[in-house]
Structure 1
Amino acid sequence: MNDPLTTLAGTLDTVWHHLERGTVQRDAPARHPVLATAGPAGAEARMVVLRAAGRIDDRIEVYADRRSAKVGELASEPRASLLVWDPAQRLQIRLRARFQVLAGETVAALWEALPGPARALYGGRPAPGTPISGPGDHIADPAAHAFCVLRGALSEIETLHLATLGHRRALFRAADGWRGQWCAP
C-alpha cells in the first residue's frame, strides 16, 4: 500500500482530508483541535470545535462566545495556532493562522443554522470565565449577540509523522504557494 505521507503532495492532501473530515465527523481527530493564543500571562491553549476548513481559500473557522478570553486574545494578537493529533496515524498537524472575529449580521445565518443545544453555548450568564459558586450557578441563555466566528487565514501548515521507520516532518507556507519542504524531525 502506498503511504501518502511519504510525499509532500500526499502529506498536504492528508492534512486537508483530516480537516475536512473534522468539520463533519464527530469522532474525527481534527474535530477538536487545540487553539493556542497569546494571553496576558503568556501562552493559552484550549480545545475548540472545527466548524469549517476550506482548501480553496486557505481558511479554518471555529465558533466562540464573544465574551470569552480567546476572543479578546485574538483581538490583541490575531496570530494563533491550531494543533491536531491523529493517534491512529501518529500524525501531528500544526496550523498557523491570522484570525479575525466575525459577528453580528455577518454570521447571522450560521447562528440560525445552529440547533438549540448548540446555541445554548453562546450567551450564558455569567460570561465565560467568570467565577461562580457551583456548576449550577451558570444559566444557559442563548444570545445571537454573544455568538461569533473565528476565521483563520492559514499562513503555515506543519506536520510531524511519527513513523516506525523514521519520522517525517514537512512545512508548507502560503507565501510559497503551499509547495512544501521536508524538515528534520
Structure 2
Amino acid sequence: MTDPLATLSGTLDAVWAQLLRGASDREAPARHPVLATAGRSGGEARMVVLRSADREGARVEIFADRRSAKVGELVTEPRASLLVWDPAQRLQIRLRARFEVLAGEAVTPLWQALPGAARALYGGRPAPGTPIAAPGDHIADPAALAFCVLRGMLSEIETLHLETLGHRRALFRAAEGWQGQWCAP
C-alpha cells in the first residue's frame, strides 16, 4: 500500500481529509484542535471545536462566545495558529491563519441551526473567565448576541509525520499556491 504522506500532494490531501472529517465527525482527531493566540501575558492556547473546513476557500471556522478572551485576543492580533495531532498516523498539523470575528446578522443562520444544548454554551452569566465561587454559580443563558464565528483564512499549513525510519516535514504556503516543499524535520 502506498503511503500518501510520502508525497507533497498526498500530504496536503491528507491534511484536508483530516480537517473535513474533523468538522463533521466528533471522534476525528481534528475535531478538537488547539488554538494558539497572542495574549497579554504571552502565548495562550486552548482546545476549540472545528466547525467548518473549506479547502477551496482555504479557511476554517470555530464558534465562540464573543465575550471570551480568545475573541479579544484575535481582535487585537488576528494572526493565530491551530494545532492538530493524529496519534494513529503520528501526524502533527499546524495551520497558520488570520482570523476575523463574524457576529450579528452574519451568523444568525448558524445560531438558529444550533440545537438548544449547544446554544447554552454561548451567553451564560457571568461572562467566560469571570471568577465564581462554585461551578454551580454559572448560569446557562443562551444569547444570540454572545455567539460569534472565528473564521480563519489559512496562510500556511505545516506537517510533521513521525516515522521510525525518518520523520517527514512539509510546508505549504497560500502565497505559493499551496505547492509545498519538504523541510528538515
- With the length of structure 1 as denominator, give the TM-score of the two structures: 1.00
Letter in 2 for 1:168: R
Give distance in 1, aligned partners of 2:5 and 2:166. Answer: 12
The correspondence of residues 137-176 of structure 1 with structure 2, limited to 5 A, is 137-176=137-176
Letter in 2 for 1:85: W
Letter in 2 for 1:76: T
1:8 is aligned to 8
Give distance in 2, aligned partners of 1:82 and 1:134. Answer: 31
Give distance in 2, aligned partners of 1:179 and 1:56. Answer: 14
SS at structure 2 position matched to 1:23: helix
Give aligned-pair identity as a percent. 80
Give distance in 2, aligned partners of 1:165 and 1:21. Answer: 28
SS at structure 2 position matched to 1:22: helix
Letter in 2 for 1:121: L
SS at structure 1 position matched to 2:24: coil
1:75 is aligned to 75
The correspondence of residues 1-185 of structure 1 with structure 2, limited to 5 A, is 1-185=1-185
- Unpaired runs of 5+ residues, structure 2, are none
Give distance in 2, aligned partners of 1:158 and 1:144. Answer: 35
Give distance in 2, aligned partners of 1:163 and 1:179. Answer: 23
**Per-residue displacement from partner, 1:91-121 (whole Å, max 9, x unpaired)?**
0000000000000000000000000000000
SS at structure 2 position matched to 1:88: coil
**For this pair of structures, how many residues does the alignment match?**
185
Letter in 2 for 1:91: L
Letter in 1 for 2:135: P
Give distance in 1, aligned partners of 2:163 and 2:142. Answer: 45
Shift of 1:165: 1.6
Shift of 1:39: 0.2
**Per-residue displacement from partner, 1:59-83 (whole Å, max 9, x unpaired)?**
0000000000000000000000000
Shift of 1:164: 1.5
The two structures, once aligned, show a CA RMSD in angstroms of 0.3
- With the length of structure 2 as denominator, give the TM-score of the two structures: 1.00
